[in-house]
Chains A and B, each alone.
Chain A
Amino acid sequence: MYCVGRSAAMASTETQPAQDAGSVEAGLDALETAAAGRPPLRHTLVNKVLPPVIAIAVVLVAWTLLYPVVDDPSKLPSPAAVGAVFKDAWLRGDLLGYIWTSVSRGLLGFFFALLIGTPLGLLVARVKFVRAAIGPILSGLQSLPSVAWVPPAVIWLGLNNSMMYAVILLGAVPSIANGLVSGVDQVPPLFLRAGRTMGATGLKGVWHVTLPAALPGYVAGLKQGWAFSWRSLMAAEIIANFPDLGVGLGQLLENGRTASDMAMVFEAILLILFVGIAIDLLIFSPLERRVLRGRGLLVRS
């Protein structure tokens, strides 16, 4: 079908005078644009889903083989014992509660970090004095482990939820702001010139050119900001263990340690890992892919 249509089109160009630039151009356009479709579902399954499933299976097999060698359930619980702890927590109705306590804290804290980090990043990127004054501190703060903020936050705010949010903010704000700064710094000067010749100057230029051009860097900053938020929150939850605060994943881990219940410790670690990955896979990775793919910056393998 395709071939028939194609040869008919070629025949019609041949009958027209060679001077007709339009039809030649249409032909050249067709030659130079490759058709890109979505890969088939089976392809996605084999290339994206199968490898991590195999990796997890390998880890489980290694764990099962290692368990009789260590032969000490207080050091290495069996996969079945960890599974039983999950099942108990689920049947008691606590499992989702643990997750929700931490995730709601993490996302709310991240949201505040977003509200503060974004204008801060813009200010640092655009105002020379502010950049000279706090730019180096802001990038330096990224390398400070956020757990270091827990002791001062406890002293300032006490053992409560605001202390957790404070730790998240101090961890995530520098990442978000820095992401935006590097995004703005990497805007090609050609775009700014093109914008200026079209009349996009001042605030119009920021809105129509600088901000959208800086979006990939900003999204990368958000992604890193979330990782920092989550890590800081876990540190805060482990250290600031207080019954009134409700049991989040960090507390669960700490409870497992005090009870010397290794299966519970494993449960908590697996949940922390799972939530971190899930939020990234559900929110930040799709966002990043969308931004990059729209600009042709993501090559499909």
Chain B
Amino acid sequence: MATTLAKAEEAVEHAARIEHVSKSFTTPAGQQLVLDDITVDVAPGEFVTLLGASGCGKSTLLNLVAGLDRPTAGTITTDGRPALMFQEHALFPWLTAGRNIELALRLRGVPKPERRGRTEELLELVRLKGAYGKRVHELSGGMRQRVALARALAQESNLLLMDEPFAALDAITRDLLHDELTRIWAETGVSVLFVTHNVREAVRLAQRVILLSSRPGRIAREWTVGIPQPRRIEDAPVAELSLEITDVLRGEIRRHGQH
């Protein structure tokens, strides 16, 4: 009884708990350490970005949290299966936009009569009302990512993992999707762990920015972003903090050239 209580309490305290996680891969050159002793807690409803240059293992870390891979050391606890969004939309081209969302609902065990209505709600949430019957290739890049976001939200997970989801979009679309994501995050109360290499994007979106160093990925520094939402990427406080973080990031990168 006591243990179940403790568990329930923990589930409320953390959307994700990453404790002393390390990951190494076996390569022809031997064991390669990719992540070294990472500890991150994501509180319920919190928006955290992981920021880093190439080789910091940020995508590897997301894969571990998503349960697609196992850590070499350390533990990861999540409250249920997290939803994952990729840089490419990863929508199934043989289904319409609406059917893609319905498949996520179906796999979660939502009964058939409820699926259609729930799908329409989710499409409306990402401002794609009327796109139910559209084929994936008929949608623009930004619309595809919004359908992918709706599909991820259809999993009704407490934690949404996002792996550079806007990196392949043009700047205009990306700015708009930042606004959308901030709005949807506030409306749904979902916790977000967002991976990016874009400093301004990290500051624009997050409550907390965690900077990872590269090869192996370690937590270099952490910032709490106190700027009130809605922010815009052009805002002076966003630019100011971005400048500070960029300087630290460049310092981290510079160390690799000195060996």
Using a CB–CB distance below 8 Å, which chain A residues touch chain B? 19, 21-22, 24-26, 28-29, 32-33, 36, 190-191, 193-194, 196-200, 204, 208-209, 212-213, 215, 294-297
B132 within 8 A of A: no
Question: Are A215's CB and B94's CB within 8 A?
Answer: yes
Contact of B25 with A by CB under 8 A: no
Q: Which residue of B lies closest to A19 (CB)?
A: B230
13 more CB-based (< 8 A) A-B contacts, given A28-B142, A197-B84: A24-B176, A25-B142, A25-B180, A29-B140, A29-B143, A190-B86, A193-B84, A197-B68, A198-B151, A199-B107, A295-B93, A295-B94, A296-B137
Specify which of A22, A24, A213 is in contact with B92 (CB 8 Å cutoff). Answer: A213
A32 to B180, CA, bound (A): 18
CB distance from B61 to the nearest CB of A (A): 15
Q: Quick one: which of B94, B135, B173, B180 contacts A213, CB cutoff 8 A?
A: B94
B103: nearest residue on chain A (CB-CB)?
Answer: A208
Given the interface pairs A26-B127, A33-B139, the reply to whether A199 lies near B86 with Cβ below 8 Å is: no
Q: How far is the CB of A214 from chain B (nearest CB, A)?
A: 10
Chain A nearest CB from B160 CB (Å) reads: 11
B104 touches A198 (CB 8 A): yes
Q: Report chain B residues within 8 Å CB of A28.
A: 140, 142, 172-173, 176
Chain B residues near A215: list those with CB within 8 A.
Answer: 94
Closest A residue to B81 by CB, please name it: A199
Which of chain A's residues have a CB closer than 8 A to the CB of B137? 295-296
In Å, the complex CA distance between A28 and B146 comes to 13
Contact yes or no, A193 B90, CB < 8 A: yes
In the complex, the chain A residue whose C-beta lies closest to that of B87 is A190
Which of A191, A194, A200 lies at the interface centre, i.e. has the most chain B CB atoms within 10 A of its CB? Answer: A194
Contact between A190 and B88, CB atoms less than 8 A apart = yes
Q: Given A212-B94, A213-B92, verify A21-B139 contact (CB < 8 Å).
A: no
* Interfacial chain B residues near A204, Cβ < 8 Å: 107
B94 pairs with A294, CB closer than 8 A: yes
B183 is an interface residue with CB less than 8 A from chain A? yes
In the bound complex, how far is the Cα of B107 from the Cα of A200, in angstroms?
Answer: 7
Q: A36 — which chain B residues lie within 8 A by C-beta?
A: 138
B88–A197 touching, CB < 8 Å? no
A190 partner residues in chain B, CB cutoff 8 A? 86, 88, 90
Contact B107 A193 (CB under 8 A): no
Which residues of chain B from 87 to 111 have any CB-CB distance to chain A below 8 Å in the complex?
88, 90, 92-95, 103-104, 107-108
Q: Is B210 interfacial (CB 8 A cutoff)?
A: no
Check A21/B94 contact, CB under 8 A, given A32-B140, A32-B143, A197-B68: no
- A200–B81 Cα distance when bound, in Å, is 12
Chain A CB within 8 A of B214 CB: no
**Residue contact A197 to B81, C-beta cutoff 8 Å:** yes
Compute how far the CA of A212 lies from the CA of B100 in the bound complex, rounded to whole angstroms: 13
For residue B91, which residue of chain A has the nearest CB?
A194
- The distance in angstroms between the C-alpha atoms of A190 and B84, with both chains bound, is 12
Q: Is B40 an interface residue (CB 8 A)?
A: no
Whether A194 touches B86, Cβ cut-off 8 Å, given contacts A25-B127, A295-B93, is yes
A29:B107 contact, CB within 8 angstroms? no
Contact for B103 among A25, A33, A198, A294, CB less than 8 A: A198
List of B residues within 8 angstroms of A21 by Cβ: 176, 179-180, 183
The 4 A-B residue pairs with the shortest CB-CB distance in the complex, in nearest-first order: A296-B137, A32-B140, A194-B90, A295-B93
Would you give 5 A-B contacts (Cβ < 8 Å), ordered by A? A26-B127, A28-B176, A197-B155, A215-B94, A295-B94
Of A25, A208, A296, the residue contacting B107 (CB under 8 A) is: A208
> Are A296's CB and B86's CB within 8 A?
no
Q: Give Cα A296–Cα B137 distance, bound, in whole angstroms.
A: 5
Q: Are B142 and A296 in contact (CB under 8 A)?
A: no
Q: Which residues of B contact A212 (CB under 8 A)?
A: 92, 94-95
Contacting residues of chain B (125-183) with chain A, CB-CB under 8 angstroms? 127-128, 135-143, 151, 155, 172-173, 176, 179-180, 183
- The interface residues of chain A lying within 8 Å CB-to-CB of B140 are 28-29, 32-33
How distant is the Cα of A200 from the Cα of B139 in the complex, in angstroms? 25
Question: Quick one: which of B94, B172, B183 has the most chain A CB within 10 A?
Answer: B94
Is B142 touching A29 in the complex (CB atoms < 8 A)?
A: yes
Cα A209 to Cα B135 with chains together (Å):
17
A191 and B92 contacting across the interface, CB-CB below 8 Å: yes
Closest partner residue, chain A, to B183 (CB atom) = A21
Chain A nearest CB from B141 CB (Å) reads: 8
For B157, the closest partner residue in chain A by CB is: A197
Given contact pairs A21-B180, A296-B135, A197 touches B83 in the complex (Cβ within 8 A): yes
Is B248's CB within 8 Å of the partner chain A? no
Residues on A with C-beta less than 8 A from B92 are 191, 194, 209, 212-213
Residues in chain B near residue A193, CB distance under 8 A: 68, 84, 86, 90
Residues of the A chain whose Cβ atoms lie less than 8 Å from the Cβ of B94: 212-213, 215, 294-295
Q: How far is the CA of A198 from the CA of B68 in the complex (A)?
A: 11
Q: Is the CB of B66 closer than 8 A to any CB of chain A?
A: yes
- In the bound complex, do residue B136 and residue A296 qualify as a contact, i.e. CB atoms below 8 Å apart? yes
Residue from the set A24, A29, A204, A297 with the largest chain B CB neighbour count within 10 Å? A29
Q: Which residue of B lies closest to A211 (CB)?
A: B94
Contact B183 A199 (CB under 8 A): no
